[in-house]
Amino acid sequence: MGACWSNRIKAVNNSNTGVNSKIVSRDGNNLSVSGSKVSSSSVPQTPRSEGEILQSSNLKNFSFNELRTATRNFRPDSMLGEGGFGSVFKGWIDEHSLIATKPGTGIVIAVKRLNQEGFQGDREWMAEINYLGQLHHPNLVKLIGFCYEDDHRLLVYEFMSRGSMENHLFRRGSHFQPLSWSIRVKVALGAARGLAFLHNAKPQVIYRDFKTSNILLDSNYNAKLSDFGLARDGPTGDKSHVSTRVVGTYGYAAPEYLATGHLTAKSDIYSFGVVLLEMLSARRAIDKNRPSGEHNLVEWAKPYLTNKRRIFRVMDPRLEGQYLLDQAQKAANLALQCLAVEPKFRPNMDEVVTALEQLREPRNMQKSGQKGNTHCHPNSRSTGNPRPSASPLHV
């Protein structure tokens, strides 16, 4: 990951305080943990108390000691990462009994430990259990259990061996090789399917924190969404939106949501557009280290995306030779639609999934006889638009 860990903060107002900083508005209303979410039609829709949420889920209630053993006392060298919620550690448990085992035996888990401060963390912890305790899909990370003992609040997940998409896009080091075009499309499609599943759930779930650090990858680059701490129920009945305090992450949140607090599934679509753009460009949504005029990825990239011949200015140079011009244009166009200022002009997640599925099938495009069927190498650029050489990449 880039230099942003220590800068990742929770702000208490709507001003942009830094790179990818979290947004939490002032009014302090509790995050709803009352809505019931499941993946099937048999959804209990009555509000649930904390006790009901913890008891009803099929999750293991770990003792703190068990998780201490599983992570070898939260050894610093087993730390997988750190976010606004707390630190994440690698651990081991027996696959069947779920009892802590010796390192290297049983199955690997990721244990997220809440920093013991603040109510926001408690709310997010409970929301995670409420949603992930009931929602199951191949593109959502699996929650195995939790710990709720004295002041300790922990979450236990399946281990995602390739870490987050954010690490792969922006982190330097030999462990993180640049992802190929086809893997990027695969990841985008997996994440889109996860979001589509949430949006189609009854009642609908709005994820509210879609960003590259919340897309985790397994050994085959299957993408799974993690972090449901900010998720909440979508509007029901004839309501067009839910009114909420504004939470999320700067750079990803939809402008109308930031301005009004009116939340709809289209807010997630906007965030998806930002993430797609990050995947195409390997540039961060907000990057204060870039030259002025390039700090905000969406503002900077939009003019290039609308011009077929200038799309290369946005594309990650390390992808050269891997995609067809036609594919780049389609991906850029999809991002542009998701980023429409008017929410009603953004596609829904099913349409996004369909578009990405087509992107994975370049043969369809070749059949279409469009002129963009050549692989894109620097030499094939006859547009006279040089790649922005003054823009270092975060790799």
Catalytic residues: 209
Q: Which helix (H) or strand (E) holds 191?
A: helix 181-200
Cα atoms in the Cβ-side hemisphere of radius 13 Å centred on 28? 2
Longest dimension (CA), the chain: 65
CB-closest chain residue to Mg ion: 227
Find the Cα–Cα–Cα–Cα dihedral 3, 4, 5, 10, rounded to 10°.
160
Interaction of residue 88 with ligand ATP, rule CB under 6 A: yes
DSSP 309: G
67 binds, among ligand ATP, Mg ion, none (CB under 5 to 8 A by kind): none
Q: How far apart are CA 70 and CA 40, in angstroms?
A: 33
Taking CB under 5 A as the criterion, the residue among 227, 233, 278, 326 binding Mg ion is: 227
Interaction of residue 2 with ligand ATP, rule CB under 6 A: no
Q: How far is the CB of 106 from ligand ATP (least distance, A)?
A: 16
Q: How far apart are CA 333 and CA 339, in angstroms?
A: 10
Q: Which stretch binds ligand ATP (CB under 6 A): 81-89, 172-180, 256-264, 299-307?
A: 81-89
Q: How far apart are CA 118 and CA 288, in angstroms?
A: 28
Residue pair 311/237 in contact (Cβ under 8 Å)? The answer is no
Residue closer to ligand ATP by CB (options 167, 327) is 167
Q: Which stretch binds ligand ATP (CB under 6 A): 83-91, 182-190, 237-245, 331-339?
A: 83-91
Interaction of residue 164 with ligand ATP, rule CB under 6 A: yes
Residue pair 378/387 in contact (Cβ under 8 Å)? The answer is yes
**Segment 332-361, which members bind ligand ATP (CB under 6 A)?**
none
Residue 302 is labelled as binding a ligand: no
Q: Which stretch binds ligand ATP (CB under 6 A): 65-73, 75-83, 145-153, 366-374?
A: 75-83
Q: How far apart are CA 214 and CA 225, in angstroms?
A: 6
Tokens describing residue 379 = 């030499």
Q: How far is the CB of 164 from ligand ATP (least distance, A)?
A: 4
Q: Which residues bind to Mg ion, rule: CB under 5 A?
A: 83, 214, 227
Q: Which residues bind to ligand ATP, rule: CB under 6 A?
A: 8, 22, 80-85, 88, 110, 112, 141, 157, 159-160, 163-164, 166-167, 213-214, 216, 226-227
Per the annotation, where are the binding residues for ATP? 112
